Structure formats: C-alpha cells, structure tokens
Amino acid sequence: MNQKLTTTDHNRDIAGLKYVYPVISRRAGGLSVGINFNINNACNWRCVYCQVPDLVKGAAPEMDFVLLEQELRFFLNSVLTGDFYHKFDVPLAQRVIKDIAISGNGEPTSLKGFDQAVSLIAKIATELGIFAKSKFVLITNGSLMHKQAVQTGLKILNNYQGQVWFKLDSATVYGRKQLNDCPQTVEQVLKKLKLSSNLCETHLQTCMLEYIGTDKTESEQDAYLDLVGKLRQQQIGIKKVMLYTVARPSLQPEAEALNKMSEAKMTCFAEKLKVLGYEVSVSP
C-alpha cells in the first residue's frame, strides 16, 4: 500500500533520508521539499506547539555536505522524473514543487556553515531547474540574525528571490515566554526583523492558538498590532503576515492545554492587520 502525504503528517523520515523530507504544506499550498538541518532534535527555543519528539535545547549538529548533496539530487530527480508522486499518493493538483524549505527539527540558522548549506541547496536546485516555478524559503525564529554566517546565507537566499518566514507568535515578553520559552524584548525583535528584511524578503509567520492568555485577544492582540505598526514607522519592510493554527498534535508537555484558534477569530484578526496595510494569509 502506498503511503499518503497529508497536511497533518510531517514525518521527517517518510522518504527514508537523513536531511530531505517531503510535506504537503498548508502555507505553501502544495508539495514542499523540506531540508532538516536539526536532525538531533535540538533547538534554542521550545515552542509549546512543537511536534518534534524528544526536543532538547541546543544547536544543529555538524552537516555532512556530501550526503546532503546526494540526498537532495536523488530526491528532486525522483520527483521530477521518478515515481515519487505515485509512491506517496499525491493528488494531481498538488504534483508540483511549491518550495524548497530550510526548516526541520529545530532552529536551522544554528548550523555551523549555514551559508555554505544555503549555497549548496541553491546550486543543486538551480541546476535541476527547480526555481523556475518554485520558491526558496527559510523558516526561522529569527533569533540568530546577528551572526555573520546567517546574514551571508540570507544574502545568498535573496540572490535566488528567496523568502524568510520569520516566527512571531507574540509581541509581549509574557506571551513569548509562554509560547516559545523565549523572553526577547520588542526592541530585540525589531532589531532582528530589520536585519532580516534588509537582506532578504521577509514574511511574518504567526501561530494562533488558545493557551493561557496568549490567544491574540485584548492585550496580546493590541501588543501585536502595536509591534507591526512600529515596523511601518521604522520602515522595516515586511512583505506578508501568515496566520496559521495548529494542525498536528504537539509533542510537548503543554499539549493538552492547547486548542486550535477558530477560523472566525483568525479572520477577524487578519482584517485588523489588513487595515494597517499588510497582505495577510489565513491557514485554519
């Protein structure tokens, strides 16, 4: 029996590879080729909705660049000319690579040689003609934008018309501590966003859920709107705000306390962002 890819199953091992994995992404709107830099399940944050098993604090391990190249070439060729779509029962409408996304089981910018990895992925994808119709995306919490290798990587990403999807789940110290175990101030967030947007097209990605006062209502919502207003004031160019909610069960201790945000509430919040002049997408 063929395995089936769905938006509710982002199994990193489904293709039997170490670094490369396929997902049907709600935000991308189709097949996303994921590159997992954090194969050790290590991250410098701990988001309560994270689906990574046995998550630990830490950074990405050393990258085997030879293996990464072998896997990516093999996988992309299996999609372009092989039996991938049939093997994983991908619907005809989704039989197109929407993006190559650097993401995985932790914060990818913590990889030593991050810029080298971005360059290698871009080289392979370009040789195989992927970027003619597909995007190059970095999914990040943005915490390491101050590192030189990360900034160099973003410049490379920009050379391929790439995008940074920058996590912003809350604009308060309380909310960020509760949701992400990250006590960064608004000023620190603004500084990271400025660095990112100056180097590459940057989108905000915000997970909306019901959890201990961080459900984007009242003070939390007002703080978020105030922060994105400051982005405009400081001429920090954010291309788009992507709102989504949990689609797969969290594997963190807080899992039972989390609930999906309703589409109605998400849409209402999106309208408030649109009033501020932002393009907004909603993935309930």
Dist. CA 168–CA 127, nearest whole Å? 34
Question: H or E segment at 78?
Answer: helix 65-80
Within a domain: 28: yes
- Residues spanned by the domain of 120: 20-283
Query: Looking at residue 241, what is its pLDDT?
Result: 97
Within a domain: 8: no
Within a domain: 177: yes
DSSP string, 144-160: TTTSHHHHHHHHHHHHT
Specify burial of residue 185 (Cβ count, 10 A radius: 0-12, 13-18, 19+): exposed
239: nearest Cα among 188, 198, 269: 198
Cross-strand partners of 231: none
pLDDT by position in tens, the chain (length 284): 456 554 444 445 556 899 999 887 665 567 889 999 999 999 999 999 999 999 999 999 999 999 999 999 999 999 998 888 888 888 887 888 999 999 889 999 999 999 999 999 999 999 999 998 899 999 999 999 999 999 999 999 999 999 999 999 999 998 999 999 998 888 999 999 999 999 999 999 999 998 876 666 788 999 999 999 999 899 999 999 999 998 888 999 999 999 999 999 999 999 999 999 999 999 98
- What lies within 8 Å, CB to CB, of 135 at 6+ separation is 28, 98, 99, 100, 161, 162, 163
Within a domain: 7: no
Within a domain: 257: yes
CATH at residue 218: 3.20.20.70
Query: Looking at residue 104, what is its pLDDT?
Result: 81
* Domains identified in the chain, total number: 1
Within a domain: 197: yes
Within a domain: 185: yes
Within a domain: 59: yes
Query: What's the predicted TM-score (pTM) here?
Result: 0.92
Residue pair 208/265 in contact by the 8 Å Cβ criterion = yes
